[in-house]
């Protein structure tokens, strides 16, 4: 029999230390994610990641600007390891705010094209999001369409619907246009296009699609996954809206800016500056660009994969083939401030 004093002096502390080590190891097998993507659009994928790797994901979702502010306020006390958001404009803001840290990962650099990630490794693109022209099939002949810039033509007077200039998606489109044709020409284009509006900008992309379907306007500019959601909806009214619309890929022909290709953006992620679980965060980020995760995004969210060779959804296949603007997407973030200024001067409210 072991004497009680020996138990108290040596064995119990050893057992306690062993339990503490085990608990610490388990506590370290987590990754904390701040995501501006809605929970339904990412949590199933994170759950699958946890089931596959045994790494628990603590997910906090919210508006992109609110989460960025939270990271700034929390500083070194933040629990977040990864910041996931949509649009390069927001990724660039996070970089400029000093809440991200550069992490160069050959595994990601090999899979993600250079144009779809930050040149200093502050963020990596996860999915591609196309923003082409969408038109009413029964009122617009696609031969009438050509480029984003051509929407400034007088023939579109009273026929265009757009989201407001507060939309970061529109800000990034303008940022890309600045790179393509210059600031002055971009402002002139916007001023004329805004003069062609059927109504004052309001609502989101889905609202613009419904307005086109209802005959309020004939064309809009919107992200394709919004149309795909309507196509795949279980609601007959939404399917009816989608049935009246078609995608036109602008800037596909010609040389230079006119043939640069359609505007694309990304959802993406970056490592937070004060993340406590960098290894787990890396494993998660590598998982998000795996063929499995990319296929899930393509099928469920109807976004285009950033990784070559992954199948897109049937809805996206139905939108046809396209040429994408090859611009390095970090340029969109760099031009964001100027884009907002020019939108204001052009009267895009």
Mean pLDDT of 46-60: 97
82: phi then psi, degrees, rounded to nearest 5: -130, 140
* pLDDT of residue 155 exceeding 90: yes
CB 273 within 8 A of CB 287: no
From CA 259, how far away is CA 149, in angstroms rounded? 11
State the helix-helix crossing angle for 236-243 and 205-214, rounded to 10 degrees: 70
* pLDDT of residue 238 exceeding 80: yes
**In the chain, what percentage of residues exceed pLDDT 90?**
91
CA dist 332 to 52, 54, 114, 168, 300, Å?
35, 37, 14, 10, 27
Mean pLDDT of the chain: 92
Model confidence at 28, in pLDDT bands (50, 70, 90)? low
From CA 222, how far away is CA 199, in angstroms rounded? 16
Of 5-14, 67-76, 251-260, 280-289, the one with minimum mean pLDDT is: 5-14
* SS3 category, 117: strand
Model confidence at 252, in pLDDT bands (50, 70, 90)? very high
- E-strand ranges in the chain read 30-35, 56-61, 82-86, 124-130, 133-136, 160-161, 219-221, 245-248, 264-271, 304-305
CA dist 23 to 80, 107, 276, 283, Å?
20, 31, 16, 21
Dump pLDDT digits (tens) for 194-237: 999 999 999 999 999 999 999 999 999 999 999 999 999 999 99
Dump pLDDT digits (tens) for 263-294: 999 999 999 999 999 999 999 999 999 999 99
* pLDDT of residue 23 exceeding 70: no
From CA 242, how far away is CA 236, in angstroms rounded? 10
**In the chain, what percentage of residues exceed pLDDT 70?**
92
Mean pLDDT of 108-121: 97
From CA 340, how far away is CA 54, in angstroms rounded? 44
CA terminus-to-terminus distance, the chain = 84
Strand 219-221 vs strand 160-161: parallel, antiparallel, or unpaired? parallel
| Architecture of the domain defined by 130-263+321-346 | 3-Layer(aba) Sandwich (3.40)
* pLDDT of residue 102 exceeding 80: yes
From CA 237, how far away is CA 306, in angstroms rounded? 32
Higher-confidence residue of 21 and 250: namely 250
Model confidence at 13, in pLDDT bands (50, 70, 90)? very low
- Please tell me the predicted confidence (pLDDT) of residue 64: 95
Domain residue extents for the chain: 31-129+264-311, 130-263+321-346
Mean pLDDT of 30-55: 95
> In the 3-class helix/strand/coil scheme, how is 177-243 assigned residue by residue?
HHHHHCHHHHHHHHHHHHHCECCCCCCCHHHHHHHHHHCCCCEEECCHHHHHHHHHCCCHHHHHHHH
CA dist 326 to 189, 260, 276, Å?
21, 7, 35
* pLDDT of residue 2 exceeding 60: no
The matching CATH number, chosen from 2.60.40.10, 3.40.50.150, 3.40.50.280, 3.40.190.10, for 31-129+264-311 is 3.40.190.10
Residue with tokens 């009122």: 139
Long-range contacts of 95-100 (CB under 8 A, 24+ apart): 95/122, 95/123, 95/270, 95/333, 96/333, 97/68, 97/71, 97/72, 98/72, 98/273, 99/68, 99/71, 99/72, 99/272, 99/273, 100/270, 100/271, 100/272, 100/273
Q: Check if 31-129+264-311 and 130-263+321-346 are the same fold.
A: yes
Of 18-27, 90-99, 145-154, the one with minimum mean pLDDT is: 18-27
Mean pLDDT of 76-83: 98
| Full-model pTM | 0.90
């Amino acid at each position: 029999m072991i004497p009680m004093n020996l138990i108290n002096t040596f064995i119990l502390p050893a057992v306690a230390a062993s339990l503490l080590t085990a608990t610490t190891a388990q506590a370290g097998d987590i990754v904390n994610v701040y995501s501006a993507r809605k929970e339904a659009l990412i949590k199933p994928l994170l759950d699958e990641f946890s089931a596959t790797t045994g790494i628990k994901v603590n997910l906090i979702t919210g508006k992109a600007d609110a989460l960025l502010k939270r990271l700034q306020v929390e500083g070194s006390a933040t629990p977040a390891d990864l910041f996931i958001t949509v649009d390069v404009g927001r990724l660039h803001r996070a970089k400029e705010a000093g809440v991200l840290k550069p992490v160069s990962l050959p595994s990601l650099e090999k899979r993600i094209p250079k144009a779809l990630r930050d040149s200093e490794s502050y963020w990596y693109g996860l999915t591609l999001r196309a923003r082409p022209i969408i038109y009413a099939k029964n009122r617009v002949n696609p031969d009438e369409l050509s480029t984003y810039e051509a929407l400034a033509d007088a023939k579109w007077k009273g026929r265009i619907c757009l989201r407001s200039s507060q939309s970061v998606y529109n800000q990034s489109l303008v940022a890309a246009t600045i790179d393509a044709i210059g600031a002055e020409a971009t402002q002139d284009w916007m001023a004329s296009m805004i003069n062609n509006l059927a109504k004052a900008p309001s609502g989101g992309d889905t609202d613009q699609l419904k307005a086109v379907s209802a005959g309020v306007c004939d064309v809009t500019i919107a992200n394709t996954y919004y149309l795909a959601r309507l196509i795949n909806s279980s609601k007959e009214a939404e399917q009816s809206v989608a049935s009246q619309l078609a995608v036109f890929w602008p800037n596909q022909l010609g040389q230079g800016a006119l043939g640069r290709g359609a505007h694309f953006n990304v959802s993406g992620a970056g490592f937070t500056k004060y993340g406590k679980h960098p290894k787990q965060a890396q494993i998660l980020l590598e998982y998000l660009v795996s063929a499995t995760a990319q296929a899930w995004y393509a099928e469920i969210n109807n976004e285009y994969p950033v990784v070559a060779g992954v199948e897109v959804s049937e809805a996206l296949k139905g939108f046809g083939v396209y040429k994408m603007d090859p611009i390095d997407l970090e340029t969109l973030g760099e031009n964001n401030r100027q884009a907002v200024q020019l939108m204001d001067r052009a009267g895009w409210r």
